[in-house]
Structure 1
Amino acid sequence: MRRLVALVWRAIRGPIQWRILWIAHATFMAGVTGVVRDDSGRVLVLRHRMWPPDRQWGLPTGYANKGEDFAQTVVREVKEETGLAVKPGRLIHLRSGYRLRIEVAYEAQLVGDATPRINSFEVLEARWCTPDGLPDGMQESHRQLITSSTPE
């Protein structure tokens, strides 16, 4: 039976193989988060309009577009949500297991002006906070990303 399966697999090379693999394996969305810091080490936190009322505070976050480099997703999302320019840094978190989603987080450094101009459709408020001065109602997973990536 295995020989037959291998023979058939080799015979259907190309798009048919890819379609079978796509159907047989999970297809993921990539949620990408940025831990954005300014030159003073403060972290950019946002109060998100669409998040649960008791946990609206968190980091800039969004989904990667098809074919988009995850580090560039951070740059795009921060720009869309706050108008700020950032330079992506190192990957600090990568995890699967959220049904059809993977979680990715990068450090990012503010480049230029530190005054946010929020997109009020997605974000209610933006603040620069020290890692030990984060607001109440902060997503616990985001709090952990901040504390685990704090420079020494």
Structure 2
Amino acid sequence: MKKLIARLWLSLRGSVQWRLLYLSQAKFMVGVTGVVRDPDGNVLLLRHRFWPRERQWGLPTGGAKRGETFEQAVAREVREETGLEVRVGELVHLGSGFQLRIEVAYAAEYAGGGRMRLNDMEILDARWCAPGDLPQNLLQAHRRLIESSLAHDG
């Protein structure tokens, strides 16, 4: 029986194989986060409207869209939330998140964009923080991302 299944599989064309694999596999949402730094090493933090009040501060974050690379998604999210442009660098975290969610974080450098323009639907406030002066109500996972990216740089 196994040999028959293997022969049947091999007789299928690539697009049919890919479609069958797509239908049979779990689908994941991809959450992207940017650890954005300015030239002085300060980290961009945002106060997110839809996050719980006791932990509203965090890094720029959102979801990847179909057809986007993760790096493009990080740059888009920063631009949508703040109006700023960034150069996305290296991967700093890849892991599983809540249920069928993949968490991806990249280091990024501020590349301009003029004055910060917040998307007030999602973002209440924004500021550049020195790594040693992070707000108390910063999301703990984001605090760890900042700390690990600093350790990686050093």
1:112 paired residue number: 112
Q: Secondary structure at the match of 1:105?
A: strand
Provide the TM-score with structure 2 as the length reference.
0.91
Distance in 1, matches of 2:136 and 2:97, equals 27
Q: What runs of 5+ residues in structure 1 fail to find an aligned partner?
A: none
Pairwise CA distance, 1:20: 2.1
2:2 paired residue number: 2
Report the RMSD for the aligned CA atoms in angstroms.
1.6
Distance in 1, matches of 2:12 and 2:144, equals 47
Pairwise CA distance, 1:19: 2.7
1:65 paired residue number: 65
1:145 paired residue number: 145
Q: Secondary structure at the match of 1:33?
A: strand
Q: Secondary structure at the match of 2:138?
A: coil
Amino acid at match of 2:86: V
Q: What runs of 5+ residues in structure 2 fail to find an aligned partner?
A: none
Q: May I ask how many residue pairs the two structures share in their alignment? A: 152
Amino acid at match of 1:137: N
Provide the TM-score with structure 1 as the length reference.
0.92
Deviations 1:3-32 (A, max 9, x none): 011122123324432232123211112111
Distance in 1, matches of 2:97 and 2:14, equals 29
Distance in 1, matches of 2:8 and 2:66, equals 31
Amino acid at match of 1:133: D
* Deviates most, 58-67 or 96-105: 96-105
2:77 paired residue number: 77
Matched, 1:134 2:138: no
- On the 8 A contact 2:83/2:113 being kept in 1, the answer is no
Percent identical pairs in the alignment equals 56
